Each structure stands twice: as structure tokens, then as C-alpha cells.
């Protein structure tokens, strides 16, 4: 009991600066908010600064780590957050959409010689369509069935890639071309549009731009009618339906948007690594991205970005512990669900929902033992 009280005390003291910050943010004028946004964007662009490298990544090249896993995980987590955090559906096969984007890039560029910029919209569209194809029959199901179906879908995609001769079986597709270069645009000593092998920074800048665009899009949606519908569905689907929210349509929309973001991440990633094989898309990656969303605070973008950053960066920073990465992950997931299910930086709304016990797919059965006391 005393440990519990101590924990509560710790939590309340830790919450004070956070609350101050969020109440300032709530009352800040528009120009101040935009100044923060711009600062964050510039900060992201300055991250590959080589002075940071020895601290942030003593084992591997900092700028390439920033692209993968950090940048890609952040983008995937933002996409998955639309499905899990906003609409409250559990997608355990999210990596499949990433794979579809990556294979679109690899196949269309190697076989049909399309360029990166032509493939990007097509890859996004392919992923979104596959999201709709998967979602249309399954989104009418209860939440936990959906989790298993998406898990099955993730495995189907990987198995198909492994067995289809057209996609190179387990060998995958080699020599995927990089995006076309524009030489001569040199800012701060980096040819920012020169997509070579050695310098990862141009890819990273490209990814930052993609992430920024996605964040703007998602943020706009969150505060629109769409976002409110998602919140209603997440909190109580039946009530939302009764109040006239076309739940199926909005669930499908969130699924398609999540898939599209995953597809975008896949295209960008394939263009950098130039080698796409089924082994890059295991289930554990879906679980990792989900962990990022949940750990950071599902439904809250800053939390999700932080969660993805931590999940991607910590194992790279502490290479010695890499063997035990998933072990630690698993334990942290269980511990978080027991003590802080709302995540590191939760959205206030989401926290309230979880404290109430709802927060997605209803209550556990056989729970009355304690609640009724």
C-alpha cells in the first residue's frame, strides 16, 4: 500500500512541469505556437549535426541511424497512431503496409523504370487500397478479432513475398534505384538533393519533409469532424453509431490513412536501402511500432513521436543490450499497461478515458471482483 502511495506522489510531482507547459500551450497565441512549430522543424533538420554523433550514437553512423530506424519508426508510429490512437482499433499487421510501399518502389522502379517521384503517390495509393480491401470485410468485426485478422494479414503479405517468384522470393529485389539527383544545391556543406550511397543526410531531410507533411495532415484531421468521429468511435462505438456517426466509414478512413502513411514510409525506405526482402518485415516490427505508440501515449502526436524515437534510438545507443531488446520491450509493455496505460505523454482526453476503464474495445469480462467492492 505504501509503495502505491509513494508511486502516486512521484507521479503528481512529475506531472507539475508538464501541466504548466500544457496550460501555457493551451493559452499561447497563434504566432507563438507557429514559432514553436518552426523551431521544432529546424531542430529536426539540424539533428544530423556531427557534434551530436559521439553522444547520440557512438557505435554506428549517426546520420544513417537518424534515417533508419529513427525517422522511419517515427513516420510509421504516426501512421499507426491514426488507427490505434485516434480510432481505437488494434492493428497488429501494420508492417504489411510498409512492405507494400517498399515492394511498390522496388518492383515499379526495377521492372518498369519509374522514378521515385512517380512511384511515391502510386505506392501510397497501393497501400491505402490494400488497407481498404482488408478493412472493408473486417472492420465490422469486434476489436479483438480485428487484431488477429490484421496479424494474419501481416503474415500473409510476408509469406506471399517469400513465395512469389515475381517478387524475388526470399532473395527479394536488388538494386532499387535512389531518387533522381539534383546536384549543385549545397546548403551548409550538404548536397541536399544528391541521393548517393555514402551520405544519409539527403534522405533524412526528405524523410523530415514527409513526416512534417503527414503531421500537418493528421493534426488537421484530429481537430476536424473526422477526428471527433474517431474519438466518438474509440470511446463508445454503439453510442457513436446511435448519434449518427457513420462508424464504418470513418473506421475505414482511419485504416486507409494509416495504411497510406505506412506505404509512404515504405517507398522512402526502399529508395534509400536499395534492397527489399521479406525478412525486413517480421511481426516483431509491427509489435515494436505498436509499442512505440503505446509507450509514448497513443492518441497524442508529441508522445507518439517521442515513443518512436526512444524505441528506435535506445537499442542503437546501447548496442550491448541489443540481444535483450525485445525482452526488455515485452517487460516494459506489461509494466506500462499495469502502471501507466496512458503512456509517457498522454493526451488529456485519452488519459481520462483510460482512467474510466473504457479507452478502446470495452471492458474485460469477469472484472467485477474488485470494482463491486
Among 225, 319, 337, 348, binds other proteins (CB under 8 A): 337
Buried residues in 259-296 as b, exposed as e (16+ CB within 10 A): bbbbbbbbbbbbbbbbebbbebbeeebbbbbbbbbbbb
Closest approach of Cβ 352 to other proteins, in Å?
13
Per-residue x/- track, 72-101, other proteins (CB under 8 A)? ----------------x-x-x---------
Half-sphere exposure of 47 (CA within 13 A, CB side): 25
The residue among 333, 351, 354, 254 whose CA lies nearest residue 288 is: 333
Residue pair 176/110 in contact by the 8 Å Cβ criterion: yes
Residue for grid cell 501512421: 79
Q: Which stretch binds other proteins (CB under 8 A): 34-42, 132-140, 172-180, 184-192?
A: 132-140
Residue 197 binding other proteins, by CB under 8 A: no
Nearer to other proteins, 25 or 166 (CB): 166
Residue 3 binding other proteins, by CB under 8 A: no
Applying CB under 8 A, the site for other proteins has a residue count of 60
The residue among 101, 153, 146, 150 whose CA lies nearest residue 128 is: 101
Nearer to other proteins, 187 or 331 (CB): 331
Which cell is 321 given? 543490450
* DSSP letter (8 states) at residue 345: S
Residue 372 binding other proteins, by CB under 8 A: yes
Residue pair 281/127 in contact by the 8 Å Cβ criterion: no
CA dihedral 253, 256, 261, 263 (to 10 degrees): -170
Beta-strand runs (E) in 2-119: none
> Residues 6 or more apart from 170 whose CB is under 8 A from it?
162, 277, 278, 279
Task: Restricting to residues 275-304, name those near other proteins by CB under 8 A.
Answer: 283-284, 287, 290-291, 294
Nearer to other proteins, 118 or 367 (CB): 367
Closest approach of Cβ 191 to other proteins, in Å?
41
Nearer to other proteins, 110 or 314 (CB): 314
Closest approach of Cβ 153 to other proteins, in Å?
7
Residue 318 binding other proteins, by CB under 8 A: no
Which cell is 283 given? 511481426
Nearer to other proteins, 282 or 302 (CB): 282
Closest approach of Cβ 135 to other proteins, in Å?
11
Nearer to other proteins, 128 or 294 (CB): 294
Residue 159 binding other proteins, by CB under 8 A: yes
The residue among 101, 94, 70, 88 whose CA lies nearest residue 290 is: 94
Among 39, 125, 141, 243, binds other proteins (CB under 8 A): 141
The residue among 249, 245, 49, 270 whose CA lies nearest residue 173 is: 270
Closest approach of Cβ 294 to other proteins, in Å?
6
Helix (H, G, I), strand (E, B) or coil at 173: strand
Residue 163 binding other proteins, by CB under 8 A: yes
Length of the chain, in residues: 373
Residue 148 binding other proteins, by CB under 8 A: yes
- Contact residues for other proteins (CB under 8 A)? 88, 90, 92, 137-138, 140-145, 147-149, 151-153, 155-156, 159-160, 162-163, 283-284, 287, 290-291, 294, 323-324, 326-327, 329-334, 336-338, 341, 354, 357-372
Amino acid at each position: 500500500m505504501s509503495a502505491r502511495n509513494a508511486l502516486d506522489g512521484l507521479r503528481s510531482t512529475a506531472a507539475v512541469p508538464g501541466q504548466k507547459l500544457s496550460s501555457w500551450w493551451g493559452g499561447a497565441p497563434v504566432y507563438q505556437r507557429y514559432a514553436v512549430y518552426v523551431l521544432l522543424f529546424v531542430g529536426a533538420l539540424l539533428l544530423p549535426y556531427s557534434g551530436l554523433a559521439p553522444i547520440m550514437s557512438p557505435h554506428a553512423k549517426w546520420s544513417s541511424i537518424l534515417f533508419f530506424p529513427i525517422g522511419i519508426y517515427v513516420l510509421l508510429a504516426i501512421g499507426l497512431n491514426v488507427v490505434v490512437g485516434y480510432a481505437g482499433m488494434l492493428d497488429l499487421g501494420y508492417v504489411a503496409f510498409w512492405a507494400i510501399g517498399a515492394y511498390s518502389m522496388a518492383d515499379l522502379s526495377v521492372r518498369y523504370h519509374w522514378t521515385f517521384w512517380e512511384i511515391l503517390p502510386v505506392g501510397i495509393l497501393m497501400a491505402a487500397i490494400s488497407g481498404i480491401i482488408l478493412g472493408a470485410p473486417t472492420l465490422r468485426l469486434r476489436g479483438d478479432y480485428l487484431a488477429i485478422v490484421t496479424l494474419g494479414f501481416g503474415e500473409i503479405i510476408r509469406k506471399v513475398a517469400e513465395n512469389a517468384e515475381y517478387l524475388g522470393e526470399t532473395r527479394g529485389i536488388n538494386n532499387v534505384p535512389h531518387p533522381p539527383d539534383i546536384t549543385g544545391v549545397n546548403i551548409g556543406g550538404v548536397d541536399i538533393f544528391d541521393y548517393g550511397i555514402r551520405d544519409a543526410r539527403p534522405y533524412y531531410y526528405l524523410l523530415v519533409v514527409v513526416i512534417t507533411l503527414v503531421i500537418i495532415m493528421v493534426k488537421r484531421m484530429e481537430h476536424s469532424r473526422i477526428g471527433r468521429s474517431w474519438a466518438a468511435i474509440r470511446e463508445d462505438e454503439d453510442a457513436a453509431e446511435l448519434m449518427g456517426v457513420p462508424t464504418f466509414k470513418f473506421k475505414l478512413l482511419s485504416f486507409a490513412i494509416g495504411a497510406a502513411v505506412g506505404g509512404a514510409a515504405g517507398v522512402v525506405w526502399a529508395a534509400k536501402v536499395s534492397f527489399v526482402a521479406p525478412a525486413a518485415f517480421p511481426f516483431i516490427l509491427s509489435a515494436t511500432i505498436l509499442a512505440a505508440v503505446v509507450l509514448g501515449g497513443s492518441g497524442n502526436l508529441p508522445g507518439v513521436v517521442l515513443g518512436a524515437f526512444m524505441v528506435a534510438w535506445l537499442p542503437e545507443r546501447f548496442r550491448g543490450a541489443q540481444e535483450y531488446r525485445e525482452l526488455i520491450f515485452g517487460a516494459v509493455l506489461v509494466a506500462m499497461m499495469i502502471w501507466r496505460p496512458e503512456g509517457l505523454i498522454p493526451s488529456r482526453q485519452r488519459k481520462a478515458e483510460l482512467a474510466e476503464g473504457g479507452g478502446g474495445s470495452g471492458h474485460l469480462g469477469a472484472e467485477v471482483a474488485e470494482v463491486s467492492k
